[in-house]
Amino acid sequence: MPDIEQRGRARPGRRSRAELPAYPQSAGAYGRHGARTAATANDFAADVMLRPRPEPPQSGWRRALFTVTGGTVNVGPSQREQRERELIAAVCTPIIGCRRIAVVSRKGGVGKTTTTLFLGHTFAQHRGDRVIALDGNPDAGSLGYRVRRETTKTITNLLVARDSVSRYADIRAFTSQAPTRLEVIAADDDPRITDTLCETDYRRAVELLEVHYNLICMDTGTGVLESASKGILQLADQIVLVTSPSLDSGRAASATLDWLENNGHTDLVAGSVAVINGIRPKGMVDLDQVERHFQARCRSVVRVPWDEVLQAGAETDLSELRPATRAAYLELGAKVAKSFAAPGPRI
């Protein structure tokens, strides 16, 4: 898939004139000079035979003008809206099979669970396939409390019942679903239970989920050496590395990349997306320097601004976020989805 920054103002989903059928000579209908062409009835598609028209704007004065004139005056979407449409088109990149995304950080309190949740929300809201977030934090993770709980069942209950789970309807008994259609499997509140879950347990859970879901976002613990986190990293097709805009958090995040490179995960580092999370308007850290550091080590870097709505750690929907925060998560989804066009997931 071409890089979304290089698409200009191309209309998502519409073929450019350079991509339209050239009708090469072959066995088929006769042309003007007796040559056979490959023209067929399939050429009568809307994106081939209709003149290009600007998409109607969806917001602002452009939308108001379009509405007042009954659609006769259409100046098209703004650059901001066009950019948003391009990002959504990237987020919707088709997937073959299932993709497994691990969100990692060796430092607590940087927004790892929040990133897992809203990356999942972004994919679920814009894509048509099934998306699930799995709480893989062995220290009584809180992901399950960030959406309205539809069940008290957890990953432990799913593992106990895995032999009787064969259909999607069976899986739904263990998940809670948000208005975006994102589903979540919660961890147990008692860390004595989650501590007993090992690499094999998470492998069994993910193998069960990937039969019914196209995207699995996995929230990990802060200890990359723990059995649970090591198991999730072994299963991941790509990682999202989360850091806050501070020296100690950035240092810990970079050390995480060091550990991954030294322990057989150079492919995950090369394809990773780094998130600098919780950025405030003023700060002592030079964010451009931090971004350049991770840009040199990761595939992409995304900045997510601080948002007071997220500070409560409660149930939060995408619609409650500030526009700049929603835009940042949309960009994150597009950056992550850029790898979906690559050959199938790792085994």
pLDDT tens digits for range 62-96: 777 667 777 766 766 667 778 888 999 999 999 98
pLDDT tens digits for range 285-309: 999 999 999 999 999 999 999 999 9
Instruction: Give the DSSP letter of residue 167.
Output: S
Is residue 207 scored above 60 in pLDDT?
Answer: yes
Q: Quickly count: other Cβ atoms within 10 Å of residue 145's Cβ.
A: 18
Better pLDDT: 230 or 146 = 146
CA distances from 39 to 7, 22, 29, 33, 36 (A): 29, 9, 7, 15, 9
Pairing, β 273-279 against β 300-305: parallel
Q: Quickly count: other Cβ atoms within 10 Å of residue 307's Cβ.
A: 20
pLDDT band with cut points at 50, 70 and 90 for residue 58 = confident
Q: Give the chain's mean pLDDT.
A: 84
Is residue 227 scored above 70 in pLDDT?
Answer: no
Is residue 4 scored above 50 in pLDDT?
Answer: no
Given this model, what pLDDT does residue 208 score? Answer: 95
Given this model, what pLDDT does residue 132 score? Answer: 98
Given this model, what pLDDT does residue 158 score? Answer: 95
Better pLDDT: 261 or 41 = 261
Burial (CB < 10 A; 0-12, 13-18, 19+), residue 278, is buried
Task: Quote the pTM value.
Answer: 0.79
Instruction: Name which of 128-142, 188-202, 311-325 the model is least confident about.
Output: 188-202
pLDDT band with cut points at 50, 70 and 90 for residue 112 = very high
Complete domains list, the chain, with CATH: 1-6+44-77 (no CATH), 94-341 (3.40.50.300)
